[in-house]
Structure 1
Amino acid sequence: MHAAGQSGAHKIVWLRHNRIDLALHLLRVVADPATRPLLLLHGLGDASPTSAPHWVEQWPGTIAALDFTGHGASTVPRSGGYSPELLMSDADHALAALTDDDPQQSITVLGRGLGAYVALQLAGARASQIRGAILTDGPGLAGGPTGPSSQSYFALPSTGAAPDPYALVELGRDLRPTDYAVSFVQLAIAGSGIDSPISVASSFRPKWLDAVADIPGVADTTVADALAAYAAI
Protein backbone atom coordinates (compact mmCIF):
# COMPACT_ATOMS: atom_id res chain seq x y z
CA MET A 1 0.00 0.00 0.00
CA HIS A 2 1.14 3.48 -0.78
CA ALA A 3 1.30 6.07 1.99
CA ALA A 4 2.80 9.51 2.35
CA GLY A 5 4.24 10.42 5.74
CA GLN A 6 2.17 9.34 8.73
CA SER A 7 -1.60 9.37 9.06
CA GLY A 8 -3.68 8.58 12.12
CA ALA A 9 -7.04 8.87 10.33
CA HIS A 10 -9.10 5.67 10.15
CA LYS A 11 -9.46 4.34 6.61
CA ILE A 12 -10.92 1.10 5.25
CA VAL A 13 -9.30 -0.75 2.35
CA TRP A 14 -11.61 -3.30 0.72
CA LEU A 15 -10.10 -6.64 -0.25
CA ARG A 16 -11.97 -8.91 -2.63
CA HIS A 17 -11.71 -12.57 -1.56
CA ASN A 18 -13.76 -14.79 -3.88
CA ARG A 19 -17.31 -13.46 -3.25
CA ILE A 20 -16.39 -11.82 0.04
CA ASP A 21 -15.44 -8.18 0.58
CA LEU A 22 -13.05 -7.98 3.52
CA ALA A 23 -12.64 -4.75 5.48
CA LEU A 24 -9.01 -3.99 6.29
CA HIS A 25 -8.94 -1.06 8.70
CA LEU A 26 -5.88 1.17 8.52
CA LEU A 27 -5.68 2.63 12.01
CA ARG A 28 -2.35 4.33 11.47
CA VAL A 29 -0.18 4.50 8.35
CA VAL A 30 3.58 5.06 8.57
CA ALA A 31 5.59 5.39 5.36
CA ASP A 32 8.96 4.34 6.75
CA PRO A 33 10.64 1.28 5.21
CA ALA A 34 12.55 0.74 8.46
CA THR A 35 9.30 -0.12 10.25
CA ARG A 36 7.02 -3.12 9.96
CA PRO A 37 3.19 -3.24 9.86
CA LEU A 38 1.27 -4.70 12.79
CA LEU A 39 -1.90 -6.63 11.92
CA LEU A 40 -4.61 -7.02 14.58
CA LEU A 41 -7.01 -9.98 14.42
CA HIS A 42 -10.17 -9.82 16.56
CA GLY A 43 -11.94 -12.50 18.57
CA LEU A 44 -15.03 -14.54 17.69
CA GLY A 45 -18.09 -12.32 17.31
CA ASP A 46 -15.99 -9.17 17.61
CA ALA A 47 -14.96 -6.55 15.07
CA SER A 48 -11.89 -4.45 14.42
CA PRO A 49 -11.33 -1.25 16.40
CA THR A 50 -11.63 2.05 14.54
CA SER A 51 -8.58 3.54 16.23
CA ALA A 52 -5.33 2.06 17.45
CA PRO A 53 -5.82 0.55 20.94
CA HIS A 54 -3.73 2.19 23.64
CA TRP A 55 -1.76 -1.02 24.20
CA VAL A 56 -0.28 -0.88 20.66
CA GLU A 57 0.34 2.86 20.49
CA GLN A 58 4.10 2.41 20.89
CA TRP A 59 4.34 0.25 17.76
CA PRO A 60 6.57 2.23 15.36
CA GLY A 61 4.97 1.20 12.07
CA THR A 62 1.63 0.97 10.34
CA ILE A 63 -1.18 -0.55 12.42
CA ALA A 64 -4.00 -2.37 10.61
CA ALA A 65 -6.93 -4.52 11.72
CA LEU A 66 -8.94 -7.05 9.71
CA ASP A 67 -12.63 -7.88 9.94
CA PHE A 68 -12.94 -11.62 9.31
CA THR A 69 -15.63 -13.00 6.99
CA GLY A 70 -19.01 -12.63 8.71
CA HIS A 71 -17.70 -10.06 11.17
CA GLY A 72 -17.60 -6.28 11.40
CA ALA A 73 -17.93 -4.56 8.04
CA SER A 74 -16.95 -7.64 5.99
CA THR A 75 -19.46 -9.65 3.96
CA VAL A 76 -21.80 -12.02 5.80
CA PRO A 77 -22.15 -15.10 3.54
CA ARG A 78 -25.22 -17.31 3.35
CA SER A 79 -25.57 -20.60 5.23
CA GLY A 80 -22.28 -20.65 7.13
CA GLY A 81 -19.38 -22.89 6.20
CA TYR A 82 -16.81 -21.35 8.57
CA SER A 83 -13.46 -22.82 9.57
CA PRO A 84 -10.20 -21.43 10.96
CA GLU A 85 -8.62 -22.14 7.57
CA LEU A 86 -11.18 -19.85 5.90
CA LEU A 87 -10.23 -17.07 8.29
CA MET A 88 -6.54 -17.78 7.79
CA SER A 89 -7.04 -17.15 4.08
CA ASP A 90 -8.73 -13.85 5.04
CA ALA A 91 -5.63 -12.93 7.03
CA ASP A 92 -3.40 -14.03 4.16
CA HIS A 93 -5.20 -11.51 1.91
CA ALA A 94 -4.51 -8.82 4.48
CA LEU A 95 -0.85 -9.85 4.59
CA ALA A 96 -0.62 -9.50 0.79
CA ALA A 97 -2.27 -6.07 0.90
CA LEU A 98 0.05 -4.79 3.61
CA THR A 99 3.13 -5.92 1.71
CA ASP A 100 2.06 -5.16 -1.87
CA ASP A 101 4.71 -2.42 -2.25
CA ASP A 102 7.42 -4.89 -1.23
CA PRO A 103 6.58 -8.61 -1.33
CA GLN A 104 9.70 -9.29 0.76
CA GLN A 105 8.44 -7.13 3.61
CA SER A 106 7.40 -8.84 6.81
CA ILE A 107 4.65 -8.07 9.31
CA THR A 108 3.91 -8.81 12.96
CA VAL A 109 0.47 -10.13 13.87
CA LEU A 110 -1.44 -9.93 17.15
CA GLY A 111 -4.58 -12.01 17.62
CA ARG A 112 -7.21 -12.22 20.36
CA GLY A 113 -9.05 -15.48 21.08
CA LEU A 114 -10.10 -16.84 17.70
CA GLY A 115 -7.78 -14.27 16.14
CA ALA A 116 -4.90 -15.76 18.14
CA TYR A 117 -5.58 -19.18 16.60
CA VAL A 118 -5.62 -17.63 13.12
CA ALA A 119 -2.43 -15.67 13.90
CA LEU A 120 -0.76 -18.94 14.90
CA GLN A 121 -1.83 -20.61 11.65
CA LEU A 122 -0.61 -17.67 9.59
CA ALA A 123 2.74 -17.67 11.42
CA GLY A 124 3.25 -21.29 10.45
CA ALA A 125 1.95 -21.02 6.89
CA ARG A 126 3.89 -17.81 6.11
CA ALA A 127 6.82 -18.31 8.45
CA SER A 128 9.30 -16.26 6.43
CA GLN A 129 6.99 -13.21 6.36
CA ILE A 130 5.58 -13.21 9.89
CA ARG A 131 8.08 -11.62 12.28
CA GLY A 132 6.32 -12.57 15.44
CA ALA A 133 2.79 -13.70 16.31
CA ILE A 134 1.37 -12.56 19.65
CA LEU A 135 -1.47 -14.69 21.05
CA THR A 136 -3.69 -12.93 23.59
CA ASP A 137 -6.96 -13.36 25.48
CA GLY A 138 -10.24 -12.97 23.66
CA PRO A 139 -13.49 -14.75 22.76
CA GLY A 140 -13.71 -17.91 20.74
CA LEU A 141 -12.01 -21.07 19.78
CA ALA A 142 -11.81 -22.50 23.25
CA GLY A 143 -11.39 -25.89 21.61
CA GLY A 144 -13.53 -28.96 21.20
CA PRO A 145 -13.40 -32.75 21.37
CA THR A 146 -10.44 -34.53 19.81
CA GLY A 147 -12.49 -37.23 18.15
CA PRO A 148 -15.80 -37.74 16.35
CA SER A 149 -18.91 -36.70 18.24
CA SER A 150 -22.63 -36.82 17.63
CA GLN A 151 -23.82 -34.88 14.63
CA SER A 152 -26.30 -32.04 14.79
CA TYR A 153 -28.11 -30.29 11.99
CA PHE A 154 -29.47 -26.81 12.25
CA ALA A 155 -30.73 -23.88 10.24
CA LEU A 156 -30.26 -20.43 11.67
CA PRO A 157 -32.17 -17.27 10.78
CA SER A 158 -30.40 -15.19 8.16
CA THR A 159 -30.18 -11.61 9.37
CA GLY A 160 -27.44 -10.53 6.98
CA ALA A 161 -25.83 -8.65 9.86
CA ALA A 162 -22.53 -9.26 11.61
CA PRO A 163 -21.56 -11.19 13.57
CA ASP A 164 -22.98 -14.06 11.58
CA PRO A 165 -24.72 -16.56 13.92
CA TYR A 166 -23.31 -19.40 11.81
CA ALA A 167 -19.79 -18.15 12.60
CA LEU A 168 -20.55 -18.13 16.32
CA VAL A 169 -21.85 -21.71 16.26
CA GLU A 170 -19.42 -23.30 13.81
CA LEU A 171 -16.22 -21.69 15.05
CA GLY A 172 -17.21 -21.90 18.71
CA ARG A 173 -17.19 -25.71 18.62
CA ASP A 174 -14.34 -26.38 16.21
CA LEU A 175 -12.99 -29.95 16.44
CA ARG A 176 -9.27 -29.47 15.81
CA PRO A 177 -7.05 -31.23 18.38
CA THR A 178 -4.11 -29.65 20.20
CA ASP A 179 -1.46 -31.32 18.06
CA TYR A 180 -2.88 -29.52 15.02
CA ALA A 181 -2.09 -26.17 16.67
CA VAL A 182 1.34 -27.44 17.70
CA SER A 183 2.17 -28.25 14.07
CA PHE A 184 1.93 -24.55 13.18
CA VAL A 185 4.35 -23.67 15.98
CA GLN A 186 6.83 -26.15 14.57
CA LEU A 187 6.48 -24.66 11.09
CA ALA A 188 6.99 -21.14 12.46
CA ILE A 189 10.09 -22.12 14.43
CA ALA A 190 11.58 -23.95 11.46
CA GLY A 191 10.95 -21.20 8.91
CA SER A 192 10.95 -17.84 10.67
CA GLY A 193 14.65 -17.38 11.37
CA ILE A 194 14.00 -15.76 14.76
CA ASP A 195 14.39 -17.28 18.21
CA SER A 196 10.80 -16.91 19.44
CA PRO A 197 8.39 -16.48 16.52
CA ILE A 198 5.38 -17.14 18.79
CA SER A 199 4.61 -15.24 22.00
CA VAL A 200 1.80 -16.24 24.36
CA ALA A 201 0.46 -13.26 26.34
CA SER A 202 -2.77 -14.77 27.60
CA SER A 203 -4.18 -15.48 31.05
CA PHE A 204 -6.95 -17.84 29.89
CA ARG A 205 -5.45 -20.75 28.00
CA PRO A 206 -7.63 -23.39 26.36
CA LYS A 207 -5.99 -26.76 25.73
CA TRP A 208 -4.58 -25.81 22.34
CA LEU A 209 -2.95 -22.64 23.70
CA ASP A 210 -1.61 -24.44 26.77
CA ALA A 211 0.06 -26.95 24.47
CA VAL A 212 1.53 -24.14 22.35
CA ALA A 213 2.93 -22.33 25.40
CA ASP A 214 4.76 -25.49 26.55
CA ILE A 215 6.84 -25.76 23.38
CA PRO A 216 10.51 -24.68 23.62
CA GLY A 217 10.98 -21.54 21.55
CA VAL A 218 7.57 -20.08 22.43
CA ALA A 219 7.83 -16.99 24.65
CA ASP A 220 5.57 -16.67 27.69
CA THR A 221 5.38 -12.91 28.09
CA THR A 222 3.21 -9.79 28.17
CA VAL A 223 1.72 -7.95 25.23
CA ALA A 224 3.93 -4.91 25.86
CA ASP A 225 7.14 -6.95 26.06
CA ALA A 226 6.24 -9.01 23.00
CA LEU A 227 5.53 -5.89 20.94
CA ALA A 228 8.79 -4.29 22.05
CA ALA A 229 10.76 -7.44 21.23
CA TYR A 230 9.32 -7.85 17.74
CA ALA A 231 9.57 -4.13 16.92
CA ALA A 232 13.30 -4.36 17.61
CA ILE A 233 13.93 -7.28 15.23
Structure 2
Amino acid sequence: MSDPVTTDDLDPTASIATVVLRHNRVDLALHMLRPAPVDADRPSRPLLLLHGLGDASPTSVPRWAADWPGVVAALDFTGHGASTVPVGGGYSAETLMADADHALAHLTGDDPEGTITVLGRGLGAYIALQIAGARANRIHGAILTDGPGLAGGPTGPSSQSFFALASDGTAPDPYALVELGRDLRPGDYAVSFVGLATAGAPVTNPITVASTFRPKWLSAVADAPGVVESSLADALASYA
Protein backbone atom coordinates (compact mmCIF):
# COMPACT_ATOMS: atom_id res chain seq x y z
CA MET A 1 0.00 0.00 0.00
CA SER A 2 2.91 2.36 0.62
CA ASP A 3 4.89 4.14 -2.05
CA PRO A 4 8.58 3.17 -2.12
CA VAL A 5 10.90 5.63 -0.38
CA THR A 6 14.43 5.36 -1.76
CA THR A 7 17.42 7.57 -2.55
CA ASP A 8 16.21 7.55 -6.18
CA ASP A 9 13.29 9.71 -5.03
CA LEU A 10 15.51 12.60 -3.93
CA ASP A 11 15.61 15.92 -5.74
CA PRO A 12 19.31 16.62 -6.42
CA THR A 13 18.66 20.32 -7.11
CA ALA A 14 17.40 21.13 -3.61
CA SER A 15 19.57 22.93 -1.07
CA ILE A 16 19.92 22.06 2.60
CA ALA A 17 20.68 23.90 5.82
CA THR A 18 21.19 22.20 9.16
CA VAL A 19 20.09 23.46 12.57
CA VAL A 20 21.77 21.99 15.65
CA LEU A 21 19.43 21.44 18.60
CA ARG A 22 20.90 20.85 22.05
CA HIS A 23 19.21 17.98 23.93
CA ASN A 24 20.94 17.33 27.26
CA ARG A 25 24.46 16.32 26.13
CA VAL A 26 23.37 15.46 22.60
CA ASP A 27 23.49 17.72 19.56
CA LEU A 28 20.63 16.87 17.21
CA ALA A 29 20.90 17.64 13.50
CA LEU A 30 17.66 19.01 12.07
CA HIS A 31 18.05 19.35 8.32
CA MET A 32 15.91 22.07 6.75
CA LEU A 33 15.41 20.43 3.36
CA ARG A 34 13.05 23.22 2.36
CA PRO A 35 13.39 26.12 4.81
CA ALA A 36 10.57 28.20 3.33
CA PRO A 37 7.07 27.43 1.98
CA VAL A 38 6.58 26.83 -1.73
CA ASP A 39 3.93 29.56 -1.74
CA ALA A 40 4.61 32.20 0.90
CA ASP A 41 1.10 33.63 0.40
CA ARG A 42 -0.45 30.28 1.37
CA PRO A 43 0.83 29.39 4.86
CA SER A 44 1.14 25.70 5.66
CA ARG A 45 2.48 23.69 8.55
CA PRO A 46 5.93 22.08 8.38
CA LEU A 47 6.45 18.43 7.43
CA LEU A 48 8.94 16.57 9.65
CA LEU A 49 10.58 13.42 8.28
CA LEU A 50 11.79 10.74 10.73
CA HIS A 51 14.16 8.11 9.32
CA GLY A 52 14.44 4.38 9.94
CA LEU A 53 16.80 2.42 12.18
CA GLY A 54 20.43 2.79 11.10
CA ASP A 55 19.49 5.37 8.48
CA ALA A 56 19.97 9.11 8.28
CA SER A 57 17.93 11.99 6.94
CA PRO A 58 17.68 12.52 3.18
CA THR A 59 19.90 15.24 1.80
CA SER A 60 17.13 16.92 -0.17
CA VAL A 61 13.35 16.94 -0.41
CA PRO A 62 12.15 13.51 -1.61
CA ARG A 63 10.21 13.69 -4.86
CA TRP A 64 7.12 12.25 -3.20
CA ALA A 65 7.11 15.25 -0.83
CA ALA A 66 7.73 17.84 -3.54
CA ASP A 67 4.11 19.04 -3.49
CA TRP A 68 4.06 19.67 0.25
CA PRO A 69 3.25 23.40 0.46
CA GLY A 70 5.21 24.19 3.61
CA VAL A 71 8.61 23.77 5.19
CA VAL A 72 10.13 20.28 4.92
CA ALA A 73 12.58 19.22 7.64
CA ALA A 74 14.28 15.94 8.53
CA LEU A 75 15.70 14.94 11.92
CA ASP A 76 18.71 12.73 12.59
CA PHE A 77 17.94 10.75 15.74
CA THR A 78 20.53 10.42 18.51
CA GLY A 79 23.24 8.02 17.35
CA HIS A 80 22.35 8.50 13.69
CA GLY A 81 23.45 10.73 10.83
CA ALA A 82 25.02 14.00 11.93
CA SER A 83 23.67 13.83 15.50
CA THR A 84 25.77 12.94 18.54
CA VAL A 85 26.73 9.31 19.17
CA PRO A 86 26.65 8.94 22.99
CA VAL A 87 29.04 6.66 24.83
CA GLY A 88 27.73 3.31 26.04
CA GLY A 89 24.29 3.19 24.44
CA GLY A 90 21.14 3.34 26.55
CA TYR A 91 18.70 3.92 23.70
CA SER A 92 14.91 3.69 23.93
CA ALA A 93 12.04 4.72 21.69
CA GLU A 94 11.05 7.25 24.33
CA THR A 95 14.49 8.85 24.09
CA LEU A 96 14.01 9.31 20.37
CA MET A 97 10.52 10.68 20.99
CA ALA A 98 12.21 13.40 23.06
CA ASP A 99 14.45 14.06 20.04
CA ALA A 100 11.34 14.55 17.90
CA ASP A 101 9.84 16.80 20.58
CA HIS A 102 12.83 19.13 20.32
CA ALA A 103 12.38 19.28 16.56
CA LEU A 104 8.68 20.03 17.05
CA ALA A 105 9.50 22.90 19.40
CA HIS A 106 11.93 24.40 16.91
CA LEU A 107 9.59 24.10 13.94
CA THR A 108 6.63 25.70 15.71
CA GLY A 109 8.73 28.38 17.38
CA ASP A 110 6.88 30.82 19.59
CA ASP A 111 3.44 29.94 18.20
CA PRO A 112 1.56 28.23 21.08
CA GLU A 113 -0.93 26.80 18.59
CA GLY A 114 1.58 25.84 15.91
CA THR A 115 1.31 22.35 14.44
CA ILE A 116 3.35 20.08 12.20
CA THR A 117 2.75 16.88 10.23
CA VAL A 118 5.11 13.96 10.89
CA LEU A 119 6.08 11.20 8.48
CA GLY A 120 8.06 8.30 9.90
CA ARG A 121 9.75 5.37 8.16
CA GLY A 122 10.43 2.13 10.01
CA LEU A 123 11.59 2.99 13.51
CA GLY A 124 10.64 6.58 12.68
CA ALA A 125 7.04 5.43 12.18
CA TYR A 126 6.91 4.15 15.75
CA ILE A 127 8.34 7.44 17.01
CA ALA A 128 5.86 9.38 14.87
CA LEU A 129 3.03 7.44 16.53
CA GLN A 130 4.40 8.22 19.98
CA ILE A 131 4.88 11.94 19.39
CA ALA A 132 1.39 12.13 17.85
CA GLY A 133 -0.01 10.88 21.14
CA ALA A 134 2.34 12.73 23.47
CA ARG A 135 1.83 16.08 21.70
CA ALA A 136 -1.64 15.49 20.28
CA ASN A 137 -2.60 19.16 19.98
CA ARG A 138 0.62 19.97 18.08
CA ILE A 139 0.60 17.15 15.51
CA HIS A 140 -1.66 17.59 12.48
CA GLY A 141 -1.35 14.04 11.23
CA ALA A 142 1.25 11.28 11.59
CA ILE A 143 2.01 9.04 8.60
CA LEU A 144 3.52 5.60 9.31
CA THR A 145 5.44 4.00 6.44
CA ASP A 146 7.72 1.04 5.77
CA GLY A 147 11.42 1.22 6.60
CA PRO A 148 14.24 -0.26 8.70
CA GLY A 149 13.32 -1.08 12.29
CA LEU A 150 9.56 -1.16 11.76
CA ALA A 151 9.14 -4.54 13.49
CA GLY A 152 11.02 -3.71 16.69
CA GLY A 153 11.42 -6.35 19.36
CA PRO A 154 9.06 -8.64 21.27
CA THR A 155 5.48 -7.80 22.17
CA GLY A 156 5.86 -9.08 25.73
CA PRO A 157 8.50 -9.15 28.48
CA SER A 158 11.69 -11.10 27.76
CA SER A 159 14.90 -11.93 29.59
CA GLN A 160 17.54 -9.22 29.90
CA SER A 161 21.00 -9.47 28.40
CA PHE A 162 24.17 -7.49 28.96
CA PHE A 163 26.75 -6.79 26.30
CA ALA A 164 29.55 -4.48 25.22
CA LEU A 165 30.05 -3.38 21.63
CA ALA A 166 33.01 -1.87 19.82
CA SER A 167 32.17 1.65 18.70
CA ASP A 168 34.39 4.30 17.12
CA GLY A 169 31.90 7.09 17.72
CA THR A 170 30.59 7.23 14.17
CA ALA A 171 26.96 6.83 13.15
CA PRO A 172 24.98 4.67 13.10
CA ASP A 173 25.84 3.66 16.64
CA PRO A 174 25.95 -0.16 16.99
CA TYR A 175 24.30 0.17 20.39
CA ALA A 176 21.38 1.95 18.70
CA LEU A 177 21.05 -0.83 16.13
CA VAL A 178 20.91 -3.53 18.80
CA GLU A 179 18.90 -1.78 21.50
CA LEU A 180 16.33 -0.11 19.25
CA GLY A 181 16.08 -3.16 17.03
CA ARG A 182 14.69 -5.21 19.89
CA ASP A 183 12.76 -2.63 21.93
CA LEU A 184 9.57 -3.91 23.53
CA ARG A 185 6.43 -2.99 21.54
CA PRO A 186 3.23 -4.38 23.04
CA GLY A 187 0.20 -3.74 20.86
CA ASP A 188 -1.83 -2.24 23.70
CA TYR A 189 0.99 0.21 24.47
CA ALA A 190 1.11 1.34 20.83
CA VAL A 191 -2.67 1.70 20.69
CA SER A 192 -2.61 3.87 23.81
CA PHE A 193 -0.86 6.57 21.75
CA VAL A 194 -3.66 6.35 19.18
CA GLY A 195 -6.16 7.06 21.94
CA LEU A 196 -4.19 10.09 23.10
CA ALA A 197 -3.87 11.37 19.54
CA THR A 198 -7.53 11.01 18.66
CA ALA A 199 -8.58 12.69 21.91
CA GLY A 200 -6.53 15.84 21.36
CA ALA A 201 -5.49 16.15 17.72
CA PRO A 202 -6.60 19.09 15.54
CA VAL A 203 -7.62 16.65 12.76
CA THR A 204 -10.32 13.96 12.68
CA ASN A 205 -8.07 11.05 11.72
CA PRO A 206 -4.65 11.87 13.20
CA ILE A 207 -2.89 8.60 12.29
CA THR A 208 -2.49 7.18 8.78
CA VAL A 209 -0.89 3.79 8.14
CA ALA A 210 0.72 3.74 4.69
CA SER A 211 2.89 0.65 5.09
CA THR A 212 2.80 -2.79 3.49
CA PHE A 213 4.57 -4.66 6.29
CA ARG A 214 2.45 -4.95 9.44
CA PRO A 215 4.16 -6.19 12.61
CA LYS A 216 1.80 -6.95 15.49
CA TRP A 217 2.00 -3.50 17.06
CA LEU A 218 1.21 -1.81 13.74
CA SER A 219 -1.66 -4.19 12.96
CA ALA A 220 -3.16 -3.25 16.32
CA VAL A 221 -2.73 0.44 15.50
CA ALA A 222 -4.29 0.05 12.04
CA ASP A 223 -7.37 -1.57 13.58
CA ALA A 224 -7.86 1.19 16.17
CA PRO A 225 -10.59 3.85 15.84
CA GLY A 226 -9.32 7.10 14.38
CA VAL A 227 -6.68 5.41 12.19
CA VAL A 228 -6.98 5.32 8.42
CA GLU A 229 -5.07 3.34 5.80
CA SER A 230 -4.02 4.91 2.51
CA SER A 231 -1.18 5.43 0.10
CA LEU A 232 1.64 7.78 1.00
CA ALA A 233 0.56 10.26 -1.66
CA ASP A 234 -3.03 10.36 -0.42
CA ALA A 235 -1.91 10.70 3.20
CA LEU A 236 0.30 13.69 2.40
CA ALA A 237 -2.48 15.31 0.38
CA SER A 238 -5.02 14.87 3.16
CA TYR A 239 -2.82 16.45 5.82
CA ALA A 240 -1.48 19.23 3.59
Bin for the TM-score computed over the shorter chain? over 0.9
Partner of 2:9: none
2:106 is aligned with 1:97: yes
Q: 2:117 aligns to what SS in structure 1?
A: strand
What TM-score do you get using the length of structure 1 for normalisation?
A: 0.93
Partner of 2:32: 26
Amino acid at match of 2:99: D
Q: CA offset at residue 205 of structure 1? A: 1.0
Q: CA separation in 2, counterparts of 1:143 and 1:72?
A: 20
Partner of 1:164: 173
Amino acid at match of 2:202: G
Q: CA separation in 2, counterparts of 1:22 and 1:150?
A: 32
Q: CA offset at residue 144 of structure 1? A: 2.6
Partner of 2:86: 77
Superposed CA deviations along residues 71-125 of structure 1, whole A, max 9, x for unmatched, are: 0000000000000000000000000010114232110000000000000000001
Partner of 1:16: 22
Unaligned stretches of 5+ in structure 1? 1-7
Match runs of 1:1-233 below 5 Å = 8-30=14-36, 32=40, 34-231=43-240
Unaligned stretches of 5+ in structure 2? 1-13
Q: CA separation in 2, counterparts of 1:19 and 1:113?
A: 26
Amino acid at match of 1:180: Y
Q: 1:179 aligns to what SS in structure 2?
A: helix
Amino acid at match of 2:157: P
Q: CA offset at residue 67 of structure 1? A: 0.1
Paired residues in the alignment total 225
Amino acid at match of 1:16: R
* Structure 1 residues 147 and 101: alpha-carbon distance in aligned structure 2, compared to 1, 3 A threshold: closer
C-alpha root-mean-square deviation of aligned residues, in Å?
A: 1.4
What TM-score do you get using the length of structure 2 for normalisation?
A: 0.91
Identical residues among aligned pairs (%)? 74
Q: CA separation in 1, counterparts of 2:109 and 2:67?
A: 24
Q: 2:35 aligns to what SS in structure 1?
A: strand
Q: CA separation in 2, counterparts of 1:164 and 1:38?
A: 26
Superposed CA deviations along residues 136-165 of structure 1, whole A, max 9, x for unmatched, are: 000104133333322221100021000000
User: Are the equivalent residues in 2 in contact too, given 1:144–1:177 (CA < 8 A)?
Assistant: no
Q: CA separation in 1, counterparts of 2:155 and 2:228?
A: 26
Q: 2:103 aligns to what SS in structure 1?
A: helix
User: Are the equivalent residues in 1 in contact too, given 2:152–2:180 (CA < 8 A)?
Assistant: no
